[in-house]
Amino acid sequence: MNHSYSISEVANVFNITTNKIRYYEKKGLLKPLRDSNNEYRKFNDEDIMTLQLILLYRSIGLSISDIKDIIENKTNKNYLNHFNDQWEIVNDEIQRLTIVRDSLENILDKLYMKDECGLDSDILDVIKRANKISDVKNNWKDKWNFNDWAKNYDKAIVEDRGEVKIYKNYNLILDKVYNLASKNNKKGLKFLEIGVGTGNLSSKFLKNNCDIVGIDQSREMLRIAKKKYPKLKVRLGEFLKIPYSDKSFDIIVSTYAFHHLNENEKVIAIEEMIRVLKNDGKIIIGDLMFKDVDDKRFIFKSLTKGQIEEVEDEYYSNIDFLKMEFRRFDKNLSYERIDMFNYIIKII
């Protein structure tokens, strides 16, 4: 038999005020029955369960409007939309606070090490750099519209309709990245794929029971990857905002994703990868690159105008630039050229 509770009894159960319960009722989250004699609220077991959900959802930061929509539309897709939204909000805030904390740490070091002369200038320099990093992290845009591309991505790779045929060695590159990443490894390593797309690279690790998680900024890519490979763990994330703690992964892999970052973004992305990489970890990237500026200039001489425009729509890396950036973190970069545009780089 369904029990009936007064508003005071419900408040005591959850150790909250009656005003909070009235507020949720006013917002349409709770709809208790009213006693026909005195108009007192009567809460049943279902109301209790709903209130428990509301309080739990509020504890992880979901808004009233989000909770109302979840309660009214209990589909997996709707749950995913709201919880992915909250995941992004939390990750963005962690990233913001991390930059603030690092800036304060730098400022404190300068204050302890110097006298008062020139401190204002030093502090401003630290804050300016922090603001610049934040701007880079927050202003990346998906100008290629991967959500729309996701459904036909695998087919597009096979057809390789572009003028420069960047996918002609796609499967070879995935195999080589996998082999490099998995060579001579001990058991129990944690892998991260950045730009997991539809899961084609991660699937190779899954087949060998590797502990791998794939991140991508495209929700549709993640949906397709999960549909293809149900056991694959996927999360919203990107090079500039990797949603994991420091030193979380032994090996980071990525293919055909790094070229969507310009040079300033690549600098931040490298810092982020190093942050989540364990001290003795390694990074394997298969992507579109040039050896250096002279190599790019030489290759462009052999291309048509249309091919050059296609290349310049992306941000192909220069390996000599990447070497210099990774060296800042005492990491060494080696590489293998696969074809005119595709390289595999290994960072240890």
The whole model's pTM is what? 0.92
Count CA within 13 A, CB hemisphere, residue 228.
Answer: 21
Tell me which DSSP letter residue 212 carries. Answer: E
Closest CA to 67 of 75, 57, 76: 57
Max CA pair span of the chain:
89
Question: Quick one: pLDDT at residue 122?
Answer: 84
Which residue, chain included where needed, has tokens 């209130």?
51
Contact assessment for residue 258 and residue 239, using Cβ atoms and an 8 Å cutoff: yes
β-sheet bridge partners, residue 342: 288
Count CA within 13 A, CB hemisphere, residue 196.
Answer: 35
Torsional sign, CA 141, 143, 147, 151: negative
Question: Quick one: pLDDT at residue 2?
Answer: 63
- The interaxial angle of helices 64-72 and 76-113, nearest 10 deg, is 160
Question: Quick one: pLDDT at residue 169?
Answer: 97
Contact assessment for residue 106 and residue 128, using Cβ atoms and an 8 Å cutoff: no
Question: Quick one: pLDDT at residue 118?
Answer: 66
Distance between CA atoms of residues 212 and 220, nearest Å: 19
Residues in the chain predicted with pLDDT less than 50, given as ranges, are 1
Task: Report how many helices (DSSP H) and strands (DSSP E) the chain contains, helices first.
Answer: 15, 10
Question: Quick one: pLDDT at residue 255?
Answer: 98
User: Which tokens is 264 given?
Assistant: 């300033």
